Amino acid sequence: MDSRELFLKVMNFEKCNRTLKWEYAYWGSTIKNWYKQGLPEKNYPKIPTTISTSATSLYTTAWTHNWKKSGASKNTKIEIGDGLAIWGNVYRPSQGFPIDIDVGDYFNFDKSVILIDIEQLFYPHFEIKILDEDSSKFTYVDLDGVKRVFQKKESTIPTVIDWPIKDWESWNKIKEERFRLDNIMHRFPNNWDNLVMKYKDRDYPLALGGYPIGIFGTLAHLIGYKNLFYYYYDEPDLLKDILNTFTNVWIAIWEEVMSRVEIDCVHIWEDVSTGTASMISPCIFKEFMTPYYKKLTNFLKAKGVNIILLDTDGDCSELIPLFLDAGITGLWPMEVSAGMDVLATRKKYPKLQIMGGIPKLNIALGNKQIDKFLEPVEWLLKQGGYIPFGDHSIPPQVPWKYFRYYREKLNHIIDKKKS
């Protein structure tokens, strides 16, 4: 059974011999530590250097500016920064992050979900501009119109200092110039016809959506979290106009895709929770999220897409019934360190698709702790609809020997699982 067939059976709670072997991501410092501690270095993670779409290239400028500035050749190895995430298997490509090969090969991971590289945010893009630079950082405007500061040494996701949507005037200008319904096909790659043929004979899951496509998430991305919280009360009509425009354009894009390609799942990004609870009230959720989720999920389900996965960090326990009511079918990464309890969640919501839920920080505590937190996994796998992996990027305090023990034991549990 190939990765696509396995994914569909697991997520649809059908009988199958095992779930998928995946991991979410690893910090750059983690991978570099592991190479020193025993992970064979065969395919050092490569940072993508070309700009394509917001979902796949959003931070490419940050990761590659110094490399391009140096005039290095395409074959020159770009050193991975400590704070740069190395992407795993949940979906790829994403945000210009380099993709892991060596860890996946070592543990014989299954093929990843592949994200269709279509522009779902602004078309045309904003012009990328470097505004200011010194030896430690540079300030720039990215293709999404967001102004960011990138710290060269830390090499983490850039810090946002200004957003493109500020009021009705700025939004109306963006809507007229970059969110039109009469140029949908311009958002597709030039080799779209060839990709369609390739996708029809695939052995991996195919997805739409991805970062930063969401109902809360895209607003926060383009307005700023603090501004958004004020706007829910001060500018509700503006937010609803933005959301209505977003969802109309997304449906138009997805309609065109699905007229030619069978889609397996859609990924929605929100990060609507903190380490203790939701960032918004149920009242705000029902007014500003539920109607637009239902608009998207009703469309997708009518097209036969029954795997609609939502990514939110933190503790989203109180939002799960609201997500389900709005048509969301699955959640990840289920951060245990923020209070998420995968066992309790499965018992309360037996048909919720779940991915993640392995406490990444506890891997560093050694074999006995690993044995303890893996105990419930066998029962969870028997219930179906579950793909276990770390509940976010694996941090550098996790040594290779403990990660290897954890992953080999988890793979053993997965392999012996019978439905």
- Non-local (6+) Cβ contacts of 273 within 8 A are 279, 312, 313, 314, 315, 316, 319, 338
What is the set of domains in the chain, with CATH numbers? 3-42+70-92+101-117+164-416 (3.20.20.210)
pLDDT tens string 249-294: 999 999 999 999 999 999 999 999 998 899 999 999 999 999 999 9
d(CA 47, CA 363): 27
d(CA 149, CA 132): 9
Q: What pLDDT was estimated at residue 73?
A: 61
Q: pLDDT band at residue 419, thresholds of 50, 70 and 90?
A: very low
pTM of the predicted model over 0.95? yes
Closest by alpha carbon to 112, among 122, 96, 123, 101?
A: 101
Q: What pLDDT was estimated at residue 69?
A: 81
Q: What pLDDT was estimated at residue 189?
A: 96
pLDDT at residue 74 is higher than 70:
no
